[in-house]
Chains A and B, each alone.
Chain A
Amino acid sequence: MDKPTNQNIRIGFYVCHCGSNIAAMVDCPAVAKYVETLPHVVLSRDYKYMCSDPGQELIQKDIAEHKLTRVVVASCSPLLHEHTFRGAVEAGGLNPFFFHMVNIREHDSWVHTDKAEATTKAKELAHAAIMRVAMHKALEVKRVPVHPDALVIGGGIAGIHAAMTLANAGKKVFLVEREPSIGGHMAKFDKTFPTLDCAACILTPKMSEAGSHPNITLLSYSEVTKLDGYVGNYTVTVKRKPRYIIEDKCTGCQECVANCVYKEAKFPDEFNEGLGKRKPVYIPFPQATPQVVVIDPKTCLNFRNGELTGKCKKSCVTACGEKQAIDFNQKETFLELKVGTVIVTTGFKAFDAKRMPQYGYGKFPNVFTALEIERLVNSSGPTGGHVVLRDGKTEPKSIGIIHCVGSRDKKTNRWCSRVCCMYSLKLAHLLKEHTGAEIYNFYIDMRTPGKGYEEFYDKLLEEGVHFIRGRVGEVTDWAMSKEEMEKGKLVIRVEDTLAGYVRRIPFDMVVLATGLEPQEDAQSIRRMLNMSCGTEGFFLERHPKLAPVSTFTEGIFLAGCCQGPRDIPDSVAQAGAAAEALVLIDKGYIEQEPNTAYILDDECCGCKSCIPLCPYTAITFDAAKKKAVINEALCKGCGTCVAGCPSGSIVQNLFDDEEIFSEIEGVLAHE
């Protein structure tokens, strides 16, 4: 490899103390002194804080005074300040890519304990950078336009709020919801803690507003099946499931429901957690948005195994009359959308209480899940707000609420689901209000952090709700013979850890406060959107504190429970992810790092071996020229294709052969 001989290369080197972060372990003046002796270096300084304004001004001044053509800064991680220094170099009048950064903090001072050795390592790394920077070429940052439309996946409260925010800012939004109506879990709730606001009263106006907003295209009963492209230019494929109703023609009059051949509703109603019944043609709940019915082919007489039989006399079609909104021939259709940004608000799944057989859900009829109770206490629920046992008539006189079902348990879900303590308190209050029953809460720890939450707990204590600190061992219907009080009841066996006794307490009704889990298909969504997941399966944010709604994929944002369990206020606050999307949309373009790979056309033999290697599907094959082509906008600069190309005909900016070999030579030069 030729040594750089160009006399025009004048390198300025700066080593940063980073307060004592670096200086305590690396002898910075010694590093500066060593670098001064290297070829092409015209000045070498050490400085307390290079990232400070005076530090940056120092670089700019030196570029002018000493006619520097290259700059190297040895300091922290490029993730932190490469951008800062490139800016300073550019302000000094140089191409920003004539700069190189050496990480002597995370890679050196923070991880070593021997000052002499750490100093040597800093010298070696600096030497490598000096050698490589001489080879740097001027590069240009490219701008890619951002499509102004946005996609929101999931129509729960987080999705609705995010879509409304964007729509109110004048952006076109596609809101995709897989159920027949938007509203998500919140639509099922009766009241919300701690203010006891009626959930429907605050949610349904937002739902209908979203449904009729001129800037929102609501795609209910639809699923996103494919996402191609890159930040600012995504192509989304949406599957529209057949609801056998033409949405534009249906007015929501529900004449079809009234005239269905099934006179009585006899199928378990999903919205009411199976506590109520519906017909094959139904509207999930009165305030459903859109106000369009749906036909369930699994139960409709006109279908068998998904095939049209035509055996029903179709009284619904007659009832619909001139509107002609019913179309039994509807098929699955696919819609292609162009969007610039995506907000993922796919929510959570409630823990399946059957996974903890010791609590008897599914075995004892009077063991309920919290979501079932939400429907029971709801005045528009299956019992009209009348809390009764599974027999449909008996009012419970004693109710036990078991916390942490499927939370804080290594055998099911390790995490705390965050909302169960509070919703258990809320249900305890509502159940007491509806039935006047004796209510017991069985908890491990009460977790009520939040505005007004502790006060709500206080209120419940004053209302005379019992709190027993102990995780329930089992729920049984086996009464101990001596205890008349246990006959025909559900008995909870628990250690009252504060009183210091193991107790058996009989109840009429047991409520399981089930935890929150990732959606069942979270993994396939994750793969489709090229996101990451934490070990528990919730989508991973870019930074838990400073980038909680961004993902590792540019232009894709998160909000709500798909990122982790959270309550309504937090979900809505997080739906401000929309603001992050707005930043992108309003800026109108994104800047692309020029560290992309490109094909040397003359040398590419068209073997196609690079194409399957690219993790970003950025490489295509130009059949006419018989050459590979790299889409710069998709290339993330990982270098896989560069290493994989058998003929060496792929080159990556900032990582070409001479740059890398010089760097290696530099790092080995110091003895």
Chain B
Amino acid sequence: MKLTRTIKYEADRVKGFGDEVRSVPGCEQLQSCIQCGTCSGVCPLSIYMDYSPRHVMALVRSDFKNEVLKSHTIWLCASCYHCTVECPRQIRITDIMYELKQRAIQEGIYPRHFTIPVLAKEFYKMVYRYGRVTENVLAATMFLKTNPMEAVKMWRLGLGLLLRGRFPLVLEKIKRRDELDRMMKVVDKMHIDQLHDDQKKPRHAVAGGHA
């Protein structure tokens, strides 16, 4: 058995990351976390997580950016808001999870081949382009980019959907897509969304200090 060192050195931290997350509106309360674990206790998905929500809060506060952004936890969050409702310090944990998800996509350091971030990104791309989501195409793209074999296994479900007319074979699009384009250009310009690849901006803390 190979033993690996688990110690963390100062160089492993991305200093300023915690402060940066805290500076996002809605995430300020992170500071007052008392690590009681109520969030993990009520979270319906915490039983699948690599780090519990409480643990994520501690990691963010201590600037362990790479560990947090690579974790499955932020992608497993289903936004049920139970943690936010029950938190005794009224920390908006779900909102912090969103902030972390956005950063993970933007910096491209989410877990590879993990379906949820891929789905989020493809969903966004599709809406950006066509103004509407075609579910079967989206699902197919997701499987192609993560685990193609899984899609093959689901042929029976696909067939059933097809027979009932729930499997459209053409892409759904909205009318007057030029207007959507114009709107999205404004959005891009204002850097409102952080999911679009072309909008990578060096405004995040990177290893070795502020950029």
Residues of A within 8 A of B (CB): 358, 404, 408-411, 444-445, 469-474, 493-497, 500, 502
Residue contact A497 to B54, C-beta cutoff 8 Å: yes
Contact present for A472 and B90 (CB under 8 Å): no
13 A-B pairs whose Cβ atoms sit less than 8 Å apart in the complex: A358-B42, A404-B36, A411-B90, A470-B36, A470-B37, A471-B38, A472-B41, A473-B86, A493-B42, A494-B37, A495-B38, A500-B55, A502-B47
Known: A409-B88, A472-B41. 6 other contacts (CB 8 A): A470-B36, A471-B88, A495-B39, A495-B41, A495-B52, A496-B37
- Please classify the interface of chain A as helix (H, G, I), strand (E, B), loop, or mixed, using the class held by over half of its residues: loop
Q: Specify which chain A residues have a CB less than 8 angstroms from the CB of B86 in the assembled complex.
A: 358, 473
In the complex, the chain B residue whose C-beta lies closest to that of A356 is B86
Answer yes or no: B35 CB below 8 A from chain A CBs: yes
CB pair A408 B88 closer than 8 Å: yes
Contact B34 A494 (CB under 8 A): no
A444 adjacent to B42 (CB under 8 Å): no
- Evaluate whether A410 and B41 lie within 8 angstroms (CB atoms) in the complex, with A471-B36, A495-B46, A495-B52 already known: no
Which residues from chain B contact A497 at a C-beta distance below 8 Å?
Answer: 35-37, 40, 52, 54
Q: How far is the CA of A497 from the CA of B42 in the complex (A)?
A: 13
Q: Which residues does chain A contribute within 8 Å of B35, judged by CB atoms?
A: 497
In the complex, chain A residues whose CB is within 8 Å of the CB of B72: none
Chain B CB within 10 A, most for which of A358, A445, A473, A494: A473
Q: Which of B39, B40, B89 contacts A410 (CB 8 A)?
A: B89
The chain B residues found within 8 Å of chain A, CB to CB, are 34-43, 46-47, 52, 54-55, 86, 88-90
**A471 to B54, alpha carbons, bound, how many Å?**
11
- A/B pair count, beta carbons within 8 Å: 63
Report the separation of the CA atoms of residues A665 and B180 in the bound assembly, to the nearest whole angstrom.
70
Q: A411: which B residues are within 8 A, CB to CB? A: 88, 90
In angstroms, how far is the closest chain B Cβ from the Cβ of A361? Answer: 16
Residue of A408, A493, A495 with most partner-chain B CB within 10 A: A495
Q: Is the CB of A470 within 8 A of B34?
A: no
Contact A495 B37 (CB under 8 A): yes
- In the complex formed, the residue of A with least CB distance to B36 is A471
For A492, the closest partner residue in chain B by CB is B41
Do A495 and B88 have beta carbons less than 8 Å apart? no
> Which of chain B's residues have a CB closer than 8 A to the CB of A493?
41-42
**A495 / chain B contacts, CB cutoff of 8 Å:** 37-41, 46, 52, 54
A596 to chain B, nearest CB (A): 48
Query: What distance in Å separates the Cβ of A502 from its nearest Cβ neighbour in chain B?
Result: 5
CB neighbours of B55 from chain A (8 A): 500
Which A residue's beta carbon lies closest to that of B55?
Answer: A500
* Bound CA–CA A358/B85 (angstroms): 11
Q: Within the complex, which residue of B34, B46, B89, B90 is in contact with A502, where a contact is CB–CB below 8 Å?
A: B46
Q: Is the CB of B41 within 8 A of A502?
A: yes
- Contact call A473/B90, Cβ cutoff below 8 A: no
Whole-angstrom CA separation of A402 from B46 in the bound complex: 21
Q: Give CA–CA (A495, B89) in the complex, Å.
A: 17
Task: Give chain A residues whose Cβ lies under 8 Å from the Cβ of B39.
Answer: 495
How long is the Cα–Cα vector from A660 to B90 in the complex, in angstroms?
A: 50
B11 → chain A closest CB, angstroms: 25
Does B41 contact A444, Cβ atoms closer than 8 Å?
no
B77 to A: closest C-beta gap in Å = 14
Give chain A residues whose Cβ lies under 8 Å from the Cβ of B89.
410
CA distance A410 to B36 in the complex (A): 13
**Minimum CB–CB distance for A66 against chain B, Å:** 60
* Chain B: CB-nearest residue to A494: B41
